[in-house]
Structure 1
Amino acid sequence: MAGLPTNSNTLAEKQAKTLQQWQALFTVSRAADAPSAQHHWQEVMRLGLPGRKHEHWKYTLLDGLLAQQFSAPAAVTLNDDTLTAHALALESWRLVFVDGLFNAALSDAQWGPYQIAVNAPHAAPTDLAAVQPELFLHLTESLAEQHTAIRLPAGCQAEKPLYILHISSGQSASLNMAHQRHHLYVGAGASAEIIEHYVSVDDKAHFTGTRLTVHAAANSQVEHLKLAFEAAASYHFAHNDLVLERDARVRSHSFLLGAGLTRHHTSAQINGEGVNLSINSLILPIGNEVCDTRTYLEHNQGHGESRQLHKAIVSDKARAVFNGMIKVAPGALKTDGQMTNNNLLLGRLAEVDTKPQLEIYADDVKCSHGATVGRIDDEQMFYLRSRGISQQDAQQMIIYAFAAELTEALNDKLQEAVLQRIALRLPNAAGVA
């Protein structure tokens, strides 16, 4: 009937209202005067918020996010007891960020061979351009109050990991927005390990926007681990960029085990021969959560190897989304790339949408992709139950076995933290091993 509002108009109004709130936050932020931040904000306005018909958002709707009232983080005071409750007991050099801002009091005073500078965006050193830009990458770049530049000089072998702990808090009346921007440069022949850990102070909702860029110089080695253990009411939007030079070795593992809506991108470029790259992830949405993981990899030079393994354990009415792309450029001969997505559904209404893809523009390459979706095998369950194992313990064994290919690559303390998080999220199907 003419004159009545339509759903599309209602959605458009919500999108406009959200952009207005974000613009207000950008205007009063410390980043607003920086040319780079202004450029990224212009991209946010140009792209706009995606609708339900947008190809890359058809399974990941933003309705809940658009209904929120957004605010800048209020000042929060945390003490050592709060730090102890949330930090992992690791032998490491530690940096702590609270609601997107560096907290010197909770961080270590020294960081070994790592050279670290935390600056306002306008003072940040030049870092990598986005491999595959998207809306929330631009949002984080425009609203991040600080940039952290991390440098490991050529030839340095870091004997301990750099542990970056992000603690976020929520508010009752609005959605706290905290944005983090980090850049890691690992010099030629150097070896680095970096751990990102995201936690919530309590169960209140908050919004985390984060971007990490990693530049691995020739013959360097980088171990990157991300643990996202935030509150179930929260939103987590992240974009990691990896750029590898000749003979670099990089492994990136993401364990996305929290937040009601997660959208996680990993984009990578192989820009030299002899490169070895691994990108792996484990996600575990429960309830009505949505966890969306995306990878985009460019093999721009030949004689390189990449391996990707992405696993999802989906429970209740939750949804997992995977979208992966391997693109082999003309002339990238002898490229060897593999991408696998395996999904385990625990609930009758659990859902997964998967789309692994290849674009190959070179001859003499070896590339493959594949995806599997299934439920707990009845024969496996019968075998375990027939040996006196309870149904809950049998489910636990099957779930942990499904995740083991990823968790066993971690050291004991990190593996324990991941398994405890799985047990916390699936109390009826998994106990602490």
Structure 2
Amino acid sequence: MVGSPVKNDMGLIESFETMVQSGNWQQQQWKKIAGIGLPRSKDEAWKYTSLSTFKQLPLHCVTYQPAENISYESLSLNFDCYRLVFFDGRFSVRCSDWIPKVTVTPLHGLTGVESYEISKSIRPDAFTYLTDATATGGALIEVESRNVVDKPIYLLHINSGMEGDLCSYRHHIELGPLSQCEVIEHHISLEQGGGVTFSRLSSYLGKGAHLHHTKLIEESHQQHHFGHNDIVVQRDASAHSNCFMLSGLLCRHQTSSHLQGENGFVEMNSLSMPVNQQTFDSRTYLRHQAPHCQSEQLHKTIARDTSNGVFDGMIYVDPNAIKTDGQMDSHNLLLSECAQVNCKPQLEIYADDVKCSHGATTGQLDPKQVDYMRTRGITKDKAQQMLTFAFASEVAFKICNPLVKEHVCKKLESSLSQGDHNG
């Protein structure tokens, strides 16, 4: 029975239905939409994130073009890595690298058991199911036990970005016990037409495994991006996840983590830089299920013009998760009177003998600091740029890879020094 939330957006639902893939697990994910419906503005989780521009798009599955037909080399970050290329919703095997001691299986080649496993999610919503149901490109990446991957795995996603184009990606990373890996997830769109990117990356860390993950969203200024990453951590394993929303019209990304084994560690950080009328929405959910686990979070938003920033974070501590140590900080900077940031950090603790805290601040640049720098011969504009960069770079410096870190810092410097909110 299709509920009323779906009926209100029947035209959009019908558009999505034509894009649902034939895999049994994807058909099952699609059926779950009927019980949830598309988000509405009165839903608490979407109160500050309007889907009006998204719902007006003439959505259709992007027309596939081979990645060889574009200059993907010039769009790629220039660093030593194992590169997997995805263009317009498809995995380009011909343009991708072979990775030693790592098995890469395209999405369409998954077995029934593998499909069932990747259909699981920690805290799903409507876009989680939509992404799974419509995914045409993606890969299962399996790292052998005790294997330390010697170079980062670079997931390069390039979309044409024409109006209404939908590109949907679904990845899963399986790290065997005592293995180590760094993953760079990069999303680019070429045109200003106003397409949509759905992206979901889940990861499972076996005992003693270690993962460093960085997601870069550099979409065109008319592109919509909806992402949801899951991290499941077993005993003595650690995960470091960073998300950078650098450009796009509407970007919403959630990272959900589940500490299932003792002595696990998770770090989740994000930086959002909306301008003009953009909305960037960053969300986290972290479940401490096992004892003696630690988590750290740092989330920052820099809002300019009439833009809208949103942060929503939850730390949930199970009754058995004693000796939990969890910290979540959210700091927001408003660079204009018309910009806004809505911040909602939350804690739910059902265990004794834990140490959990959250902090949130929102404000403008300190005029005293600007005045002090001006007394040292620095112009007002340059002083503001330097202070803003210092605020943002705290998150950028958490990137493991030095060349990716340099790329993000250059993006920040370029955006702040040019003062060009359109590019």
2:367 corresponds to which residue? 378
SS in 2 for 1:40: helix
- 1:12: Cα distance to partner? 8.0
CA deviation string 1:3-27 (max 9, x = no partner): xxxxxx9x9876221111111222x
CA deviation string 1:341-362 (max 9, x = no partner): 0001111101000100000000
* Stretch of structure 1 that moved more, 133-142 or 116-125: 116-125
CA deviation string 1:203-229 (max 9, x = no partner): 332110011110001011110111111
Aligned equivalent of 1:55, options 44, 55, 62 = 44
1:140 corresponds to which residue? 131
Aligned equivalent of 1:258, options 247, 262, 265 = 247
Residue correspondence of structure 1 range 333-352 to structure 2 within 5 A:
333-352=322-341
* AA in 2 matched with 1:116: V
* Stretch of structure 1 that moved more, 206-215 or 45-54: 45-54
Cα distance in 2 for partners of 1:319, 1:405 equals: 21
Cα distance in 2 for partners of 1:78, 1:367 equals: 47
Cα distance in 2 for partners of 1:303, 1:237 equals: 33
Q: 1:78 to 1:156 in 2, by over 3 A?
A: closer
1:17 corresponds to which residue? 11
CA deviation string 1:382-422 (max 9, x = no partner): 01111111222212211110012111233432122112322
Q: Which runs of 5+ in 2 are unaligned?
A: none
2:99 corresponds to which residue? 111
Contact kept in structure 1, 2:64 and 2:90, CA below 8 Å: no
* Stretch of structure 1 that moved more, 161-170 or 421-430: 421-430
CA deviation string 1:214-259 (max 9, x = no partner): 0001011110111111111000001100000000011001111111
SS in 2 for 1:316: coil
Residue correspondence of structure 1 range 143-154 to structure 2 within 5 A:
143-154=134-145
SS in 2 for 1:25: coil
SS in 1 for 2:128: helix
1:307 corresponds to which residue? 296
Q: 1:405 to 1:426 in 2, by over 3 A?
A: closer
Cα distance in 1 for partners of 2:51, 2:70 equals: 36
Q: CA RMSD in A?
A: 1.9
Cα distance in 2 for partners of 1:430, 1:386 equals: 27
Cα distance in 2 for partners of 1:95, 1:113 equals: 15
Contact kept in structure 2, 1:242 and 1:268, CA below 8 Å: yes
Q: 1:390 to 1:430 in 2, by over 3 A?
A: farther
Contact kept in structure 2, 1:392 and 1:430, CA below 8 Å: no
Residue correspondence of structure 1 range 219-234 to structure 2 within 5 A:
219-234=208-223
- 1:429: Cα distance to partner? 4.3
- 1:74: Cα distance to partner? 1.1
Cα distance in 2 for partners of 1:307, 1:430 equals: 33
SS in 1 for 2:150: coil
Contact kept in structure 1, 2:67 and 2:86, CA below 8 Å: no
SS in 1 for 2:19: helix
Q: 1:332 to 1:82 in 2, by over 3 A?
A: same
Residue correspondence of structure 1 range 27-426 to structure 2 within 5 A:
31-32=21-22, 34-79=23-68, 82-108=71-97, 110-120=98-108, 123=111, 125=114, 126-128=116-118, 129-171=120-162, 174-410=163-399, 411-426=401-416
- 1:80: Cα distance to partner? 7.7
- 1:78: Cα distance to partner? 4.3
Contact kept in structure 1, 2:67 and 2:92, CA below 8 Å: no
- 1:332: Cα distance to partner? 0.8
Q: 1:352 to 1:121 in 2, by over 3 A?
A: farther
Cα distance in 1 for partners of 2:238, 2:336 equals: 38
- 1:48: Cα distance to partner? 1.2
Contact kept in structure 1, 2:90 and 2:138, CA below 8 Å: no
SS in 2 for 1:352: strand
Cα distance in 2 for partners of 1:293, 1:316 equals: 19
* AA in 2 matched with 1:342: H
CA deviation string 1:105-162 (max 9, x = no partner): 3222x11222111131763624351100100000000001244110111101111100
* AA in 2 matched with 1:189: L
Q: 1:389 to 1:430 in 2, by over 3 A?
A: farther
Contact kept in structure 2, 1:280 and 1:308, CA below 8 Å: yes
Contact kept in structure 2, 1:324 and 1:357, CA below 8 Å: yes
Cα distance in 2 for partners of 1:426, 1:85 equals: 24
Cα distance in 1 for partners of 2:136, 2:263 equals: 38
Cα distance in 2 for partners of 1:216, 1:358 equals: 25
Cα distance in 2 for partners of 1:60, 1:216 equals: 32
CA deviation string 1:16-48 (max 9, x = no partner): 21111111222xxxx22x221111111122211
Contact kept in structure 1, 2:86 and 2:137, CA below 8 Å: no
Aligned length: 414
SS in 2 for 1:233: coil
* AA in 2 matched with 1:409: K
Contact kept in structure 2, 1:392 and 1:429, CA below 8 Å: no
Q: 1:412 to 1:430 in 2, by over 3 A?
A: farther
- Percent identity between the two aligned chains: 36
Q: Which runs of 5+ in 1 are unaligned?
A: 1-8
Contact kept in structure 2, 1:229 and 1:421, CA below 8 Å: no
Cα distance in 2 for partners of 1:47, 1:81 equals: 38
- 1:77: Cα distance to partner? 4.3
TM-score with structure 1 setting the length:
0.91
Contact kept in structure 1, 2:389 and 2:416, CA below 8 Å: no
Cα distance in 2 for partners of 1:60, 1:409 equals: 27
Contact kept in structure 1, 2:385 and 2:417, CA below 8 Å: no
Cα distance in 1 for partners of 2:355, 2:362 equals: 24
